[in-house]
Structure 1
């Protein structure tokens, strides 16, 4: 099968397009003919051996796929050949076929295109878990989203609006902030040209924000935390900036706030029933037109390393997707 191959850990330019043997199907797995694969920040980390999960070389990156099942393991009873599914595979998605444990596969309702399905799990799954399960975001609360024009950030903006919050989007350019306004943000902060802490205070009349969604890290974390409201909730989602911040621990004491980790991949493994409920809700909202993934760019399988480079350089607006079939 054709695939993007990581033979040595490194940057996207070290990946090559070539042939790999078809995956071996385990008894509890399904084999999926991949039609589309989402592009995510963890893909950039995993090819550099910087992620929590460390596959053996050689492997293909790509952690969320949509396509049709072409074979099922002997112990699998819940799926059959021909089912259209989305799956959280971790890696292996930048290829024509991938074998996935059946408990990491979700049968899709009709009418959802493969490219939309394949760009839902990481972004909307992470953001919905963060806002609903971790922060318990309430209507009328104020939500600040850092990195708001990226994949998970834009999903958080859209979901926050849908859940009744007043959304403040923070990003690094006017182009990115315009996109956030289109997705439902009411207010914006350009944290490359404006002081983040001061602007938060100004936009909230000194109160601060109730919930902060942070997939960026680096220098922005402490500044944002200083702008949180009393009993606010700070969601640590990731470190796209490349720097894991060190937080002065007197700040949560003074603010009476909570700092919460958001590790959606582990949540989906340890709490599969709740995770599938969340996915079902997201699919319902997609069908109803209440949320709509913004696909920034589409890539062929051969060009998918360029998608990872765009994420690494923070040039991807919304979500990238690799179209395979």
Structure 2
């Protein structure tokens, strides 16, 4: 099979596109013909060694995919359209390949009528958003969430998922993105440069990685929460006194450490939104799988500006070799 892979951690020049043996599914796994994959920032962290992984080497890159089940196995029927978002780390080979073997508890059916290109583009940011809001943030209907960076991919998903859950959503973004935030469900959209943020925030989520905890704590409600999901090199000042006097908390999480059960909960929520016509990406660029190295380079250089790259492994109508 064709795949995009690396022999060891390193710069983008380490990426190779070529032949690797087809995966052989182990007990509890399902063999899938991949239609589309994508590139996330965390994929570049795995490739360059910032996020160390145990291999196996050579390591196929990529977390996310949509594809079709090859043979009936572990409750899945041959031909079913499925997706997953936790390959390429934790000892698992990645998704940037023509075929993948996926643990059945990390594989989910894609609702009928959902475009695979749209779906794969939002799997990672939307799952990140769900885990931040509900698994780690404990958001409930009627509470207020402040989303910093509402115009980005994770920010957009945070807004939509929080609004769908009955929360009041305040988003900050660039002036050009305020209308977008409102269209995805934000009740209030503010220019990110404004300092007059509202008080009484139950959940504060900063997608920018700035992690201005002084500002966040100043606007939290009693027992308000801050969820950190970006900014691996940030070293913010923490107003510990105000935090503990108001029963407030700060929690960090990274999607790479999410359990299979947590990812399955997120998948159910994503599929519900997919089926309702939600969680659609803003801008998608389709490129061949052979251009995975170029996609990694563009992401690392900051050239995408919110654009989601979808790696086209095979055309949807293409015949599949058995």
Query: Normalising by structure 2, what TM-score?
Result: 0.83
Q: CA RMSD in A?
A: 2.7
Identify which of 300, 320, 324 aligns with 2:288. 300
Counterpart for residue 80 of structure 2: 83
Do residues 166 (structure 1) and 156 (structure 2) align? no
* Unaligned ranges ≥5, structure 2: 89-93, 315-322
Counterpart for residue 317 of structure 2: none
Counterpart for residue 259 of structure 1: 250
Counterpart for residue 230 of structure 1: 222
Alignment of 1:240-255 (within 5 A): 242-248=232-238, 249-255=240-246
Q: Which stretches of structure 1, 4 residues or more, deviate above 6 A after TM superposition?
A: none
CA distance 1:61–1:175, shift in 2 (3 Å)? farther
Counterpart for residue 207 of structure 2: 215
* Unaligned ranges ≥5, structure 1: none
Distance in 2, matches of 1:252 and 1:315, equals: 37
Identify which of 203, 228, 231 aligns with 2:197. 203
What SS is found at the alignment partner of 2:258? helix
Counterpart for residue 121 of structure 2: 119
Distance in 2, matches of 1:298 and 1:138, equals: 36
CA distance 1:309–1:174, shift in 2 (3 Å)? farther
User: Contact conserved, 1:296 with 1:317, CA < 8 A, in 2?
Assistant: no
Do residues 315 (structure 1) and 307 (structure 2) align? no
Counterpart for residue 319 of structure 2: none
Counterpart for residue 19 of structure 1: 19
Counterpart for residue 68 of structure 2: 68
Task: Give 1:36 deviation, angstroms.
Answer: 1.0
Do residues 151 (structure 1) and 153 (structure 2) align? yes
Counterpart for residue 5 of structure 1: 5
Aligned residues: 307
Distance in 2, matches of 1:213 and 1:118, equals: 23
User: Contact conserved, 1:296 with 1:320, CA < 8 A, in 2?
Assistant: yes
Distance in 1, matches of 2:191 and 2:133, equals: 23
Counterpart for residue 97 of structure 1: 99
Task: Give 1:251 deviation, angstroms.
Answer: 4.4
CA distance 1:316–1:19, shift in 2 (3 Å)? farther
Identify which of 306, 309, 313 aligns with 1:324. 313
User: Contact conserved, 2:147 with 2:158, CA < 8 A, in 1?
Assistant: yes
Counterpart for residue 184 of structure 1: 185
What SS is found at the alignment partner of 2:311? strand
User: Contact conserved, 2:212 with 2:237, CA < 8 A, in 1?
Assistant: no
What SS is found at the alignment partner of 1:253? helix
Query: Normalising by structure 1, what TM-score?
Result: 0.82
